[in-house]
């Protein structure tokens, strides 16, 4: 199950500074690997060997410089629902404000583990000033200075202890598919079409949040878990809330799953927010299937699926090698097919390619088109293997890994996709010194 740390607090207490500090060390790696632009409010972190996600919930709330009390409430409530651990940030130089009290009230009523973070403790004098935060009734404050980094280690030691305990939940060892997408694309209808008649053969498993229900599907030789995020719509009535909610819900579902079925509305096409969700899955290295739903509403010509597919792939670049399927949840057309494709992607994602086979296929390609020489230096790739990671990662061993360009790595990725079954699966390629 996902490990999520949410940062909450009123504006200007230092949430995004803390967010950057926690996610910084990994940011360079992630960017270099995937060429993906980083979300400013969502990122991965690691401490004492434990990986977790960090969300700056403040960043998703509109107009956060001049925030309304209602916005803060929303932010905090959602953090309570979605996160395992909450960092409640306060500014020691200002003490407790009315907005801080509002946040504290909601957090006290929630059942999540909260760490009171007394930020901007930049000097010795300020160390004694956080005492008043005890009165919030949320436990001992942790003194930190997000700017210098002091105190963050002690805080994280305690945070990962809580996460680690949460993480040991029992898990079902079957493929997990998350049905994600913006409100109204047809997620509920899709799930109903799939489960409709077979209601008697599905088991409801309590979800980790109130609205998301995980359903195990065992019929016609299939056995998988569906993670349903359809609850998004029911909670949000105002337009600008939608992105915030669907992003938060999607994050959790994406982290919990093996493959996402990203539903889009055929009449609208692939829009910016769909791409955000796609990139989230890519960053998390989850399998992806694009499901173009409401296909019954689109007027068909001979080439319409081909053209439609091509338009989508252009927007997904550079990760274009993703299955795209056209469904109608209303007429039930290809709904089961969509999950069968998700099963294939799942298999692609856990496969181990034999070292011998990998080298037999890839070494001739590399010899035929080696990396371009830089300053007279020739890179020689001698050996390739797959690393024992949870999503496909390949190491290319060579004499001068630092001379291999991003473009060449992209070339290798494309060749690998042609040669092996990697559709829908984000992969990583590392150059290593032999
Ligand atoms: P947010 O609105 O809660 O995300 O706050 P920001 O992270 O944008 O920080 C607000 C301001 O406080 C910025 O000017 C930061 O540079 C400053 N700030 C953040 N952390 C510290 C700190 O530890 N010490 C000091 N002195 N300033 C800080
Ligand atoms: P959700 O918010 O993603 O769960 O979307 P819903 O399943 O509630 O569907 C939103 C609306 O789209 C409803 O009115 C559905 O009847 C309609 N809808 C869903 N799937 C399809 C489809 O494949 N074809 C058509 N024509 N309408 C659909």
Give the tens place of pLDDT for each residue, 393-404: 999 999 999 999
Alpha carbon of 189 to ligand 2 centroid (Å): 6
Cα distances from 383 to residues 186, 340, 367, 390, 400, in angstroms, run 47, 35, 12, 21, 13
33-47, 308-322, 373-387, range with the lowest pLDDT: 33-47
Alpha carbon of 96 to ligand 2 centroid (Å): 46
Phi-psi region of 223 (alpha: psi -120 to 50; beta: other; left: phi over 0): beta
Interval 355-382 mean pLDDT: 94
Interval 102-123 mean pLDDT: 94
Test site for ligand 1: of 11, 14, 56, 145, most ligand atoms within 8 A of the Cβ: 14
Cβ(132)–Cβ(95) below 8 Å:
yes
Name the β-bridge partners of 217: 202, 224
Residue nearest (by alpha carbon) to ligand 1 atom 11: 12
- Does the pLDDT of residue 150 top 90, yes or no? yes
Specify the pLDDT at position 340. 96
Alpha carbon of 327 to ligand 2 centroid (Å): 11
CA of residue 287 relative to chain centroid, distance: 11
DSSP strand pairing (214-219 vs 222-228):
antiparallel
CA-nearest of 177, 180, 179, 421 to 321 is: 421
Interval 111-139 mean pLDDT: 93
Nearest-atom number in ligand 2 for the CA of 333 is: 23
- pLDDT, tens digit (0-9, with 9 covering 90-100), for 207-247: 333 344 677 788 778 888 888 776 444 444 444 555 666 66
DSSP string computed for 51-85 = EEEEEEHHHHSTTGGG--HHHHHHHHHHHHHH-SE
- Per-residue confidence band for 164, with pLDDT thresholds at 50, 70 and 90: confident
Name residues contacting ligand 1 (CB within 6 A).
9, 11-17, 58, 119-120, 122, 145-147
Q: Which ligand is nearest to the CA of 294?
A: 2
Instruction: Tell me if 329 CB under 6 Å of ligand 2.
Output: yes
Specify the pLDDT at position 1. 59
Residue nearest (by alpha carbon) to ligand 2 atom 26: 294
Alpha carbon of 335 to ligand 2 centroid (Å): 13
Alpha carbon of 146 to ligand 1 centroid (Å): 7
Residue nearest (by alpha carbon) to ligand 1 atom 10: 12
Alpha carbon of 16 to ligand 1 centroid (Å): 7
Alpha carbon of 133 to ligand 1 centroid (Å): 18
- Does the pLDDT of residue 68 top 60, yes or no? yes
Alpha carbon of 141 to ligand 1 centroid (Å): 18
Interval 16-36 mean pLDDT: 64
Specify the pLDDT at position 166. 58
The percent of residues in the chain predicted with pLDDT above 70, rounded, is 84
Coil, helix or strand at residue 313: helix
In the block, tokens 């969300």 appear at 55
Neighbours of 385 (CB within 10 A): 17
Nearest-atom number in ligand 1 for the CA of 10 is: 3
Interval 102-127 mean pLDDT: 93
Mean pLDDT, the chain, integer: 85
Of the chain, the end-to-end C-alpha distance in Å amounts to 36
Test site for ligand 1: of 8, 12, 21, most ligand atoms within 8 A of the Cβ: 12
DSSP string computed for 362-390 = HHHHHHHSPPPPBTTBPP-EEEEEE-SSS
């Amino acid at each position: 199950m996902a490990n999520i740390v949410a940062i909450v607090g009123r504006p200007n207490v230092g949430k995004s500074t803390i967010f950057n500090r926690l996610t910084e060390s990994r940011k360079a790696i992630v960017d270099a690997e995937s060429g993906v632009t980083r979300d400013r409010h969502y990122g991965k972190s690691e401490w004492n060997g434990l990986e977790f996600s960090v969300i700056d919930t403040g960043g998703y709330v509109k107009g956060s410089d001049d925030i309304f009390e209602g916005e803060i409430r929303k932010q905090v409530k959602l953090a309570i629902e979605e996160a395992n651990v909450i960092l409640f940030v306060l500014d020691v130089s200002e003490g407790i404000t009315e907005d801080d009290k509002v946040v504290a009230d909601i957090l006290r009523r929630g059942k999540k583990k909260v760490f009171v973070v007394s930020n901007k403790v930049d000097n010795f004098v300020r160390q004694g000033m956080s005492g008043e935060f005890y009165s919030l009734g949320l436990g001992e404050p942790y003194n930190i200075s997000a700017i210098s980094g002091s105190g963050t280690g002690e805080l994280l030691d305690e945070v990962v202890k809580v996460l680690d305990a949460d993480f040991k939940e029992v898990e079902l060892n079957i493929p997990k598919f998350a049905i994600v997408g913006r409100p109204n694309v047809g997620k509920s209808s899709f799930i109903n079409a799939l489960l409709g008649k077979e209601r008697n053969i599905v088991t409801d498993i309590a979800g980790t949040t109130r609205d998301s229900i995980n359903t195990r599907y065992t019929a016609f030789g299939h056995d998988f878990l569906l993670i349903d995020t359809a609850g998004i719509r029911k909670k949000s009535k105002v337009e600008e809330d939608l992105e915030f909610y669907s992003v938060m819900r999607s994050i959790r579902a994406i982290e919990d799953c093996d493959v996402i079925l990203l539903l889009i509305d055929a009449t609208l096409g692939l829009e910016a927010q769909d791409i955000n969700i796609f990139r989230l899955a890519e960053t998390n290295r989850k399998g992806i299937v694009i499901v173009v739903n409401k296909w019954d509403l689109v007027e068909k010509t001979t080439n319409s699926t081909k053209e439609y597919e091509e338009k989508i792939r252009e927007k997904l670049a550079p990760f274009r090698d993703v299955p795209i399927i056209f469904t109608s949840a209303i007429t039930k057309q290809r709904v089961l097919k969509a999950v069968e494709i998700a099963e294939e992607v799942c298999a692609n994602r856990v496969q181990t390619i034999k070292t011998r086979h990998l080298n037999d296929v890839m070494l001739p390609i590399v010899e035929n088109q080696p990396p371009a020489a830089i300053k007279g230096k020739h890179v020689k790739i001698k050996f390739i293997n797959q690393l024992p990671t949870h999503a496909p990662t390949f190491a290319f061993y060579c004499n001068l890994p630092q001379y291999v360009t991003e473009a060449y790595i992209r070339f290798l990725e494309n060749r690998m996709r042609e040669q092996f079954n990697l559709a829908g699966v984000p992969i990583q390629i590392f150059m290593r010194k032999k």
